[in-house]
Structure 1
Amino acid sequence: MVVPTPAPRARPEKIQAVELPVIDLSRRYEAPGLIVAACETHGFFKVINHGVPQEIIAPVEEQSLRFFNKPSSEKLKAGPMNPFGYGSKNIGFNGDIGEVEYLLLGANPNLFDISQRAKNISDDDPAKFRY
């Protein structure tokens, strides 16, 4: 038996622009409440005044792009998450079809060492990527 797929939901004629919530971490006492509100209303936010130097951010972004540009078969070697590692999920229940990918890394080196699987994450220096 063949069953036709349901028609996609009609999209609104006009899409409204939404301003990205910006959280200023220099406002120590207000930031936690603003983060909760941004997560509840938008699901994401941008952080400013976090104190992380650009010379630390740039290599992490470069390594992340290199990892996520690898073929799926290579990325899957860095998973499954247990509790850290690579994962991906299909999305698309409301017409927004696609896949979301993520790589969860631990901040505490005493709890779990992702560098055991990091050769699949970074070709250069797995420990460097982690730190």
Structure 2
Amino acid sequence: MVAASPISIRSEKISPIDLPMVDLTGERSMVKKLIVKACEEYGFFNVINHGVPRDTIAKMEEAAFDFFAKPMAQKKQVALYGCKNIGFNGDMGEVEYLLLSATPPSVAHLKNISNVPSNFS
């Protein structure tokens, strides 16, 4: 998950775009083509019919917003946290991110991930 920094460098608003939708119930070969196209053209895409329960997504979003609301010094204690300027000249603002591995054993070995945010498990 990526969260926008509350500090804006630019004053003008950027128009939203319609991201491509990838429906995981589609034919596998078509889904793969849609993902490749979305990545090549946009770099992002929305996934629907993925089977992840809504309450799980809500808990993940809540934990992420709680984490990104923490003071910078506390966020920097987590090895996989990052913050950088974005845009052609770094003038579009900042993006903060937390990289998590999808392999549970590797996440379990990170000393700070179990308590920052506190409800990660």
Who is 2:42 aligned against?
Answer: 42
Unaligned 5+ runs, structure 2: 1-13
Which of 92, 99, 105 lines up with 2:94 in the alignment? 99
Bigger drift between 105-114 and 22-31 goes to 105-114
* CA distance in 2 between partners of 1:51 and 1:35 (Å): 17
Highest RCO, 1 vs 2 (Cα 8 Å, sep ≥ 6): 2
**CA RMSD, 1 decimal:** 2.3
Distance 1:54 1:114 in 2: 28
* Aligned positions of 1:50-129 closer than 5 A: 50-79=50-79, 85-94=80-89, 96-113=91-108, 115-118=110-113, 121-123=116-118, 125=119, 129=120
What number of residue pairs does the alignment pair up?
107
Change in Cα spacing, 1:93 to 1:34, as seen in structure 2 (3 Å) is same
Q: Where does structure 1 differ by over 6 angstroms across 4 or more consecutive aligned residues?
A: none
Q: How much does 1:119 deviate?
A: 5.1
Q: Which has the larger radius of gyration?
A: 1
- Looking at structure 2, the residues matched to 77 and 102 of structure 1 have their Cα atoms a distance apart, in angstroms, of 13
Distance in 1 (alpha carbons) for counterparts of 2:69 and 2:110: 19
Cross-structure match for 2:25: 26
Q: Structure 1 length normalisation: TM-score?
A: 0.70
Q: 1:116 is aligned with what amino acid?
A: K
